[in-house]
Amino acid sequence: MDVEETPLPGIGLRREIVLDNGRRVGIVIHRDGQTELIISRLDDPDACLASVPMSVEEAATLGGLLGGPKLVAQLSEEHSELPGVSTRQFPVTEGSPFSGHALGEARIRTRSGASVVAIVREGQVMPSPAPSDTMKPGDLLIVVGTPDGLDAAAKILHGG
């Protein structure tokens, strides 16, 4: 995918991609580090429908959410040769019972048979997390297992 980069003299830098439908989606990075999410209009691709200021943390979390499906798709592809094994992603929200706890405390593997194979945090993938790694709000857990196992894992993560 081509990322267009446009300098904004005196303000910062704009990076964007053009979607198939002609819409431009991207970010403006201000000199002071602030990030702005921009989405262009469809009827006037020169103009913006929205420009949303975000903190560094918010932007990174959104990046993780956006990047997650691609990772899941890659993992699913790898597991597609194994019948009965699939991959799913679970977001850790502020309200999750294990948010802020170590991965080991949820005992997902023991209770559901499914394994957490990666954590996506702030746009970065942390493969093969250890039981001592904490789950933070905004994280994305990549879980591999049988469909039943994945359902059980979802229950554990939402209900405790």
Residues that bind another protein (CB under 8 A): 6-12, 14, 16, 21, 23-24, 26, 28, 31-32, 36, 38-51
Alpha carbon distance 87, 11 (integer Å): 42
- C-alpha dist (Å) from residue 116 to 5, 85, 123, 156: 36, 13, 17, 13
Considering beta carbons, is residue 38 or 60 the nearer one to another protein? 38
The pairing of strands 4-8 and 124-127 is unpaired
CB of 15 to another protein, least distance (A): 11
Q: How far is CA 3 from the centre of its chain?
A: 19
CB-nearer residue toward another protein: 47 or 82: 47
CB of 19 to another protein, least distance (A): 9
Q: Which is nearer to another protein, 62 or 106 (CB)?
A: 62
**Euclidean distance between CA atoms 3 and 27, whole angstroms:** 11
In angstroms, the CA 90 to CA 143 distance is 7
Give the nearest distance from C-beta 46 to another protein in angstroms.
Answer: 3
CB of 21 to another protein, least distance (A): 5
Nearer to another protein, 19 or 126 (CB): 19
